[in-house]
Structures are given as C-alpha cells and as structure tokens.
Chain A
Amino acid sequence: MRTLIVEDDASLRKSLETAIRDLGGEPRGVGTARQASDALRESAPHLLIVDISLPDGDGLEILREARQAAPDMDAIVITGSSAIDHAIEALRAGAADYLLKPLRPPQLEAVYQRVAERRRLELELDELRTELQETGRLGEMVGRSEAMQTVFESLRKVARTAAPVLISGASGSGKEVAARTIHRLSRRAGKPFVAFNCGAVSPTLIESELFGHERGSFTGADKRRVGYFEEANEGTLFLDEITEMSAELQVRLLRVLEEKSLRRVGGAQEIRVDVRLLSATNRDPEVAMREGKLREDLYYRLNVFPLRLPALKERREDIPILAEHFLREIDQQEKSGVKHFEPAAIQLLQARDWPGNVRELRNMVHRAYILTEGDTVREDVVRGLLPGAADAEREPKKAAKKAPPAVRKPSKPQARR
C-alpha cells in the first residue's frame, strides 16, 4: 500500500517509514505541508499518515485537499493533543482513524492493518462487481434475473456488516453458496468459515459438535474436543437446517449468541467467542416459528437480516447461464472437452421446474457431460435424462438406455471449512 507520511520531526518520520515498510507498505516521507501537496500529486498514495501540526500548515487541510482529489484514499491523523475536538475534526475530515502521540507501535500496526484489510476487501468487492456486470456472477453465485440481482444487492450490503443473516430457500437453491459469498465479501474473509448442517447429525451429538466437550464428559468422550463455534472464532459459522435443532439446544444457542461466550459440554470454564452467525432453513421461517420448530426469541436474534433465495423455476431465464457455467466448471475437472449445449437442449432444461433447484440442475449437467461424445451436449441426451421426457417421441429407448441410474450428490459432510 503506497503510504505518504507527513511529519515534521525528521527522526520520527524516518522511524515511521521503517515501521510501515516492515508492515508491508511502500512509504514515502515528507516534512512540510508544501512537500505534502507535491507528493500527493506525484505519487497518488493509497494511505496518508499526517501530523495535524506542521511548521507551514495544518495537517487537516492537507487531508481535506487529498480526500477531495482522491475520495478513496485512506488517512490516519497523528495528533499530540488528547482534546476530543481534534479527534472529531479529524474524523469529519475523512480520517479512518487517529493516533495520539507518543505513538504506540501496536496501535499503529492495528490501525494500519485495519486500513489495509478494508482496502483489500474493497478491491475484491470492486472486482466482484465488475465480474457481476460482465458475467452475471457474484462469487460462486450465478444469475442475471431480476430476482437474483435483488439477492446480489442485498448480499453485498449485508456482507459488510456484522448482522446475523437468516437465509431461506428451497432445498438446492444455494443457501450455503450464499453464506460463503457473504463470508467472502465480509471483513472476516481471511478468517475461518465453518458450515454445519444441524439436520445431518443426531440431536444428541449436535451440542458437543457445536460447543465442544471436555474429556470424560460423556461415554466415549475420550479426549477434549473443540466445537465448531470455537473453530469459527473471529470468522463465520453457518448453521444449515437450523429448525432441526431441538428446542433445548436452541435455548443454549441463544445464550451463546447473547453472551458471546460458551462452556464446552462437561466444562466449567467460560470461553469467549467472536463469531458471525449465518443460518439457513428450507422452511418458511415464520411458519417454522408458529409451528414451534424455531423459538421466537432465537428467530428474532437470527433474523436480523432475512435473505430469501428464489427457487430455480422463479428464475428460468438464469438456466442457460447456469447450465453453461456448470458445464465449464465440470469440463475444468473432467477435461473431456465438452464445451457447449445445443440451443434445443437448453430449451428443454428451461422448460423443466427443477424441484431440486440449482443442485439438481448441476447434477443433470454433469450426467449430460458424461454421456456426451464430441464437444456439444445434444438435445436428445438431455431429453433422455429428464424424468418423463424419456417417454417422449424422440429416441426414447436410446435415451433411456443411456441414462445412468439417478445418483444423488453424496450427503453433505457435517462440517465444511
């Protein structure tokens, strides 16, 4: 990160340059307001570190001038005064933070890393926005339909916050992919993402899987185990099928979310955890609450920001781009050189309702890929694979013979990182 340091004390300036270089930055130091103006024009820094008090001017004026010319530039103000007015003025002028002299290296490092991390995320976000405009994608999510544009917009906004998100949508609609995308676009992107399916584990085991256990806490607990909450510390925990969790465990989950600390099963020690929780359900969350599947207090805690993913039949116009996307993805793995669909094959895919949603479409594309000879998936191959379509007029026997047994994707592992 190109960093301009404006500090009149030559020795402190040099020391700051050395420290910033050690933190991975590219520093340039100047000692006066006039030199700062020149340097801002010449080097277009990403970060400005400026002392308020300079021999020939006011550091805040330099900051205002710099932010006017480059609104994206970050700034850290250094001040020798602990007066709150200075801090407020610095923040109003656009500083990301301010540091009080004498400078403490851990504070400088923390502020610098925070700015660097935000910059990295904003660059990634810009890349993703461009990607979205060009290809109809946001991270691993694909779609140009209006419904998906709305989802992308909500997702981008909520990703930058710490708010819990409750994702709802039919099975296979991409809830975990949406959760991963939120994590990837969030400030926690460099930290762990842990996904756990509450419906895939027996209710008696969920507690120890989530919160961990101490050795000897129950039969078979022959060693201490750290739970997924602790594994996701500083990162994101995604709980799928949240309504499958017992009411008793929902109370415990609520307590952890409120107190930001937990006790392992059989443990006495409170362990602090800093986790952003994303949860998902394939039920209507309000109906689940009314039916007693989801506690009301937990519902309100999880549902700070609801995100509903549309079923594939609600966005049929995305089927061509999704099918092409999956074909490319599969070809990268399998390398058989199948690159295209016949237009009629795509039309067949678009006509179907896809009760298994995006996951089912992907499996179908994979099967068609396996059966295709040459570089183009033909209409008859797709017709043979679609339930009911095998009885249709064109080459029913051939298609039925070619179709492999319906293979479901293997059940998801309990936790994925």
Chain B
Amino acid sequence: MQLENSIEPARLRRFLHDVSAPLSAVALNLETASRRAAKGEDPSTLLDVARRELARCFEIFERGRSELLGGPDEPR
C-alpha cells in the first residue's frame, strides 16, 4: 500500500496509457495471425508486427519502472 500511495497518479496513468496501445496491437495481431493460420494462410507478417509491438511493450515497461519506481526517494 505504501508503494502504491507513493506513485503520482498522473504518472501512473501516463504509463498505463502508453503501454496499452502496443499491448492492444500485440493481442490484435496474434488473434488475426491465428485466424489466418487456421485458414492455411501465412501469418508471418502479423507475427513480426506482434513481436515488434511486444518489444515496444518491454521498452515502455522498463522505462515506466525506472520512472515510477527508480527515483532516489522511491522505495526499492
């Protein structure tokens, strides 16, 4: 509880907003890839996009962790 209370809500909202777009893209591309594969079509382009968007999620996650929790006054 102490940890949650110490994070500024605005920064947390920003982080959630930023990560939600690539996360949505990953989910949509995986779903479409799975549908195409079931029809015997090549899903590799969609999988590439999903992989790229997943990398973006990681990047935003790492940056968010550092920004939200990594400051000198933040508990570790």
Chain A residues in contact with chain B, CB under 8 A? 9, 11-12, 14-16, 18-19, 22, 53, 80-81, 101-106, 108
- Given A11-B53, A103-B27, A103-B28, 10 more A-B residue pairs with CB atoms under 8 Å apart are A11-B49, A12-B24, A12-B25, A18-B32, A22-B32, A80-B17, A80-B20, A81-B13, A101-B17, A103-B24
Q: Given A11-B49, A80-B16, do A18 and B24 touch, yes or no (CB 8 Å)?
A: no
Contact B28 A18 (CB under 8 A): yes
Nearest CB in chain A to that of B56: its residue? A11
Asked if B21 is an interface residue, CB under 8 A from chain A, the answer is: yes
Q: How many residues of B contact A (CB 8 A)?
A: 23
CA distance A128 to B51 in the complex (A): 49
Contact A102 B32 (CB under 8 A): no
Contact B21 A9 (CB under 8 A): yes
Point out the residues of chain A lying under 8 angstroms from B31, CB to CB. Answer: 19, 105-106
Contact B28 A101 (CB under 8 A): no
CA distance A16 to B31 in the complex (A): 11
Point out the residues of chain A lying under 8 angstroms from B53, CB to CB. Answer: 11, 15
CA distance A15 to B49 in the complex (A): 9
Point out the residues of chain A lying under 8 angstroms from B16, CB to CB. Answer: 80
Asked if B47 is an interface residue, CB under 8 A from chain A, the answer is: no
Asked if B23 is an interface residue, CB under 8 A from chain A, the answer is: yes
Point out the residues of chain A lying under 8 angstroms from B25, CB to CB. Answer: 9, 11-12, 14-15
Contact B28 A19 (CB under 8 A): yes
Looking at the assembled complex, report how far the CB atom of B30 sits from the nearest CB atom of chain A, in whole angstroms.
8
Contact B17 A53 (CB under 8 A): yes
Looking at the assembled complex, report how far the CB atom of A360 sits from the nearest CB atom of chain B, in whole angstroms.
53
Nearest CB in chain A to that of B28: its residue? A15
20 contacts between A and B (CB under 8 A): A9-B22, A11-B49, A11-B56, A12-B21, A12-B28, A15-B25, A15-B53, A16-B28, A18-B29, A19-B28, A22-B32, A80-B20, A81-B13, A101-B17, A101-B21, A101-B23, A102-B19, A102-B20, A103-B24, A105-B27
Interface-central residue, B16, B20, B25, by most chain A CB under 10 Å: B25
Point out the residues of chain B lying under 8 angstroms from A105, CB to CB. Answer: 27-28, 30-32
Q: Which of B1-47 contact A (CB under 8 A)?
A: 13, 16-17, 19-25, 27-32, 35-36, 46
CA distance A12 to B18 in the complex (A): 12
Looking at the assembled complex, report how far the CB atom of B27 sits from the nearest CB atom of chain A, in whole angstroms.
6
Looking at the assembled complex, report how far the CB atom of B53 sits from the nearest CB atom of chain A, in whole angstroms.
6
Partner of A102, one of B13, B23, B30, B56: B23
